[in-house]
Amino acid sequence: MVTSPSGRPEEKESSATEAVRQERMDATMLRSALKVVDPKDALCPADSCLYKVDDRSLYFDDSHLSVYGALYVAPMLEPCFAVD
């Protein structure tokens, strides 16, 4: 169980559900020029998800990133904007 930014407990996605989601993203990328980036890798690096970094909130509310949160995940989005 993980804690949402509001402090409410939330169930973490099951590994089976996550595997299906990853397979779908991979298949989509193979069929198109679409680049898929999942900020979960930056926001949930271990068994729990971050809601603060350097004592600054990553979220504006329960499910929307704050400006700081957006800046935190921005580096992983850069490949989406690269011109091949």
pTM for the structure as a whole: 0.62
Banded model confidence at residue 4, pLDDT cuts 50, 70, 90: low
Which candidate, 58, 54, 76, 78, places its Cα nearest to that of 67? 58
Which candidate, 80, 60, 69, places its Cα nearest to that of 42? 69
Contact 2, 10 (CB under 8 A): yes
As for how many domains the chain has, the answer is: 1
List the domain range (segments joined by +) for residue 8: 2-81
Q: What is the pLDDT of residues 47-58, one digit of tens each?
A: 889 999 999 999
